[in-house]
Amino acid sequence: MADCYLCGKRAVFRTEDGPLCAEHFSKWYENGVANAISRYSMVNPGDRICVGFSGGKDSTVLLAALCRLNLDCELVAVTVDEGIGGYRDDTILAAKDTALRLGVEHRIVSFKDICGKTLDELLANSPQAACSVCGTLRRRALNAAAREIDADSIATGHCLDDESQSVVMNYLRGDVTRATASFNSNSGDLFIRRIKPLCRSTERATVAYGLCNNLLVPLPECPYTRYALRKDVRTWLGKLEYEKPGTLIRIADGQEELLSKMPKAEGEKKILGRCEKCGEPTSNKLCAACQQLERLM
């Protein structure tokens, strides 16, 4: 690759403005995260932020970038141990190590703690349901942890690729409810606010940032991803982004514009109640997590 257009050192990443060295690229990446945070007013002074921290590449970069930005807030990293044999133990060790290096308080909560079973045990008869079960229970676990540490918000490592994939997946599934739900639709009083500081950063840049800053260790891939629709969408969109750079941000921006033009749906103002079983906020008798668990237990 060419030289950094700002200082002439060896470049590691090409941005739209030109190639950048490790140092200038890191600054550029952190600026992008800071811009996303202010664009969506994600952080208020003095906030206590529960950072969903799987130990994987995105959430590791998220935690490191939030530390570097010196925001006026407190960070607590929370790792959810789903109980996935041959995968989780290594990532938990990596997570512990990273949190220690960054000097961030670190907590671990497990599926076993919250529902008595590991993900492997829950999925024994229906592995193809993995991502939806895991996603629902992970949200529940993070919410519980965030309440326990009295957090103002929960930050997750979803990057631009994840956001754009979700937009496309909602259309592929014909899921109009989700396709038209605003990003903030779970911002009712009973829910803890969710923020996604990497939502405008591509996965490619996120991984490059992790590599430049020695944050990443090689980790196994989750064994359940082979069942996920997301995997195909990820491949297609990755190819499109490569051939037509800017595809991902156009999908995310297009969706944002579409939502801004929609009349506020009545559904969004619906007053939430509490789950009869666990007390989590929900509009139904049972919350999504308890419904999942009833089916699986």
The binding site for Zn ion (CB under 5 A) comprises: 4, 6-7, 9, 21, 24, 275, 277-278, 280, 287, 290
Of 222 and 290, the one with the shorter C-beta distance to Zn ion is 290
CB of 19 to Zn ion, least distance (A): 9
Taking alpha carbons only, the member of 291, 207, 226, 223 closest to residue 82 is 223
Q: What's the CA gap between 191 and 275, in Å, rounded?
A: 13
Of 73 and 275, the one with the shorter C-beta distance to Zn ion is 275
Of 82 and 162, the one with the shorter C-beta distance to Zn ion is 82
DSSP 277-288: TT--EESSSS-H
Phi-psi map region of 8: left, alpha, beta (phi>0 left; psi -120 to 50 alpha): left
* Run of H or E residues at 35: helix 22-39
CA-CA-CA-CA torsion sign (181, 186, 189, 194): negative
CB of 3 to Zn ion, least distance (A): 8
CB of 291 to Zn ion, least distance (A): 8
Who's near 61: CB < 8 A, 6+ residues apart? 157, 198, 206, 207, 209, 210, 215
Residue recorded with tokens 């941005």 = 15
**Cβ–Cβ contacts within 10 Å for residue 87, how many?**
18
Of 58 and 280, the one with the shorter C-beta distance to Zn ion is 280
Who's near 180: CB < 8 A, 6+ residues apart? 259, 262, 265
CB of 73 to Zn ion, least distance (A): 29
- State phi, psi for 254 to the nearest 5 degrees: -60, -45
Of 13 and 224, the one with the shorter C-beta distance to Zn ion is 13
Of 24 and 193, the one with the shorter C-beta distance to Zn ion is 24
Of 114 and 217, the one with the shorter C-beta distance to Zn ion is 114
CB of 209 to Zn ion, least distance (A): 15
Who's near 293: CB < 8 A, 6+ residues apart? 115, 122, 137
Of 27 and 112, the one with the shorter C-beta distance to Zn ion is 27
CB of 274 to Zn ion, least distance (A): 8
Taking alpha carbons only, the member of 47, 92, 89, 86 closest to residue 66 is 47
CB of 17 to Zn ion, least distance (A): 12
Cα 5 from chain centroid (whole Å): 32
CB of 191 to Zn ion, least distance (A): 13
